[in-house]
Amino acid sequence: MESETASVHPDITQVNRIVRELKRRAPLDAAGYLQAQDDAMAAAVLSALPTGLSTKILLRLPEERRQAIMPKVHTEAGEYWNICLQYPEDSVGRLMSSPVGMLDANLTAREAIEKIREWNQQQPITYGYAVDGENRLQGVIVMRDLMLSEPDAPIHSIMVTQPFHFKPDTRMEDAMLETVYRQYPVYPVCDEAGVLIGLVHGYLLFEEHNFSLSAQAGSMVGVDREEHFTTPLQRCLRMRQPWLQFNLLTAFLAAFVVGIFEDTIASIVVLAVFLPVLAGQSGNTGCQALAVTLRGLTLGEHGTEAMRKLLRKEAMLGLVNGVAVGLVAAIAMTGYSLWSGAENAWLLGLVMLLAMTGSCIVSGVTGVLVPLTLKRVGVDPATASSIFLTTATDVVSLGMFLGIATLMVL
């Protein structure tokens, strides 16, 4: 009997401990951790978390477990979950919490303060929100202004009118850009009719922004954005292995290009020594352009004209950098050819200069085009961008190097 009671009414100390643990974890890892708890404990923990965070965790639970937990959640929280789940995953609506601090715009400052004191015993109130009879947002009341106003002053005379607010379907990328200029602790969320339907905490948007930036480097090489340092080994394997297999297939393309020029390599063995030099240098040039492009996309600097300017700039940088590193590589190629007794040493140096310059130009342009193309087809531009870029640069640089050598030397 005691164990049944414990399962119905989980120990609050245990609930708080798990809440603190889940706040330190990525949503996918938090869902895995919560899987080990019984339904009553899981429901109590999710109810104690901010609605936006609990929704993100809930969505990563298996469907059957989610259906088992939701009936045990406090009715109001469960109903609000269903509202949040209606919106796209990458939207503000998924991070909303139920609105608190709504006040009639005709109340006096004294009446508003009394209501806020009463509400604050249940949960902290950051701002007051003046609404009309249909809960349409009229203004935001800052606590300092409220406390310093005359007791009988109507709150519509002290509120901030036409306040900034998000719509629930606002994309997270757009919301993050807005928070750069409006660093508020809480943002109201209104529907098309202006009705206040929720609040989103600034720290959740900030966490989402940091999470996206930290996940970007991993995404470029096929590491899922959900993977965290606490992610179990088996789950890491499931997330990484498909991209490794795909990368293997793309690597075969580069091998195929080298195979086409097998006779050239057999005749001029010294070329094989410099294949990794060329591939590595062009790949690094492409990654530099890729990093700048992804940064521009993240910050919203992705207008058509801006990207055209970036494309021209990266092509010019590829030309200048290609000539600079190509001259050094050409000297090394010539010196090694003379030392090894290869014929046409100076001509081989010229081949290296031309191939390095052309490869750097192509890789710089490709570093811009890969994420832009992924974004245009509706795919996260950071997703495995490095894999696509490496394939393109390897194929082009190796093909160009061996092709020029075939034409000029043989």
- Residue 266, pLDDT > 70, answer yes
On whether residue 221 sits in a domain, the answer given is no
**Binning pLDDT at 50, 70 and 90, where does residue 78 land?**
low
Q: Are residues 259 and 397 in the same domain?
A: yes
Instruction: Indicate the residue type of 217.
Output: A
For residues 290 and 379, membership in a common domain is answered with yes
Both 256 and 167 in one domain: the answer is: no
Residues 340 and 379 in one domain: yes
pTM above 0.75, yes or no: no
d(CA 129, CA 126): 10
CA distance 167 to 176: 13
pLDDT at residue 327 in the model: 95
Residues 174 and 294 in one domain: no
Both 270 and 121 in one domain: the answer is no
Q: Is 213 among the domain residues?
A: no
Please give the average per-residue pLDDT across 317-334, as a whole number. Answer: 93
Sorting pLDDT into bands at 50, 70 and 90, what band is 209? Answer: low
> Residues 118, 101: contact at Cβ < 8 Å?
no
**Domain limit, last residue, from 57, 86, 115:** 86
Contact 366, 385 (CB under 8 A): no
At 30, which CATH number?
1.10.220.30
∠ CA 312-314-320, nearest 5°, is 105
Domain that holds residue 332: 240-408
Please say if the pLDDT value at position 3 is more than 50. Answer: no
pLDDT at position 21: 86
- What whole-number percentage of the chain has pLDDT above 90? 25
Band of the pLDDT at 8, cuts 50, 70, 90? low
Do 268 and 380 lie in a common domain? yes
Question: Per-residue pLDDT for 300 more than 90?
Answer: no
Between 221 and 297, where is the model more confident?
297
CA distance 351 to 332: 12
Q: Quick one: 181 and 248 in the same domain?
A: no
Domain tally for the chain?
Answer: 3
Average pLDDT over residues 382-409: 84
Based on the domain organization, do 324 and 284 belong to the same domain? yes
CATH code assigned at 367: 1.10.357.20
CA nearest to 247, candidates 70, 52, 387:
387
Over residues 357-380, the mean pLDDT reads 85
pLDDT of residue 53: 74
Does residue 216 lie within any of the structural domains?
Answer: no
Q: Quote the CA–CA distance of 85 and 93 in Å, as a whole number.
A: 8
> The CATH number of the domain where 152 resides is what?
3.10.580.10
Structural domain includes residue 348: yes
Q: Which of 387, 328, 335, 334 is nearest to 356 (CA)?
A: 328
| For residues 88-116, average pLDDT | 87
Shared-domain flag, residues 267 and 400:
yes
Between residues 304 and 277, the one the model is more confident about: 277
130-178: pLDDT as tens digits: 999 899 999 999 998 988 889 999 998 999 999 999 999 998 878 877 8
CA distances from 15 to 19, 43, 79, 96, 284 (A): 6, 10, 21, 22, 49
Domain boundary among 24, 53, 86: 86
Residue 233 lies in a domain: no
Q: Measured between alpha carbons, how far is 360 from 341 in angstroms, rounded to an integer?
A: 29
Does residue 389 lie in a domain region?
A: yes
Does residue 155 contact residue 146 with C-beta atoms inside 8 Å?
A: yes
In a domain, 95, yes or no: no
In a domain? residue 208: no
What's the confidence (pLDDT) of residue 5?
38
Helix, strand, coil percentages for the chain (3-state, nearest 5): 65, 10, 25
* Mean pLDDT score across all residues of the chain: 81
371 and 256 part of one domain: yes
Q: State which H helix or E strand residue 196 sits in.
A: strand 196-201
Instruction: Answer whether residue 225 shows pLDDT above 60.
Output: no
**Would the CA dihedral through 226, 228, 233, 236 be positive or negative?**
positive
Are 401 and 285 members of one domain? yes
Do residues 389 and 283 make contact, with C-beta atoms less than 8 angstroms apart?
A: yes
pLDDT (average), residues 39-48: 85
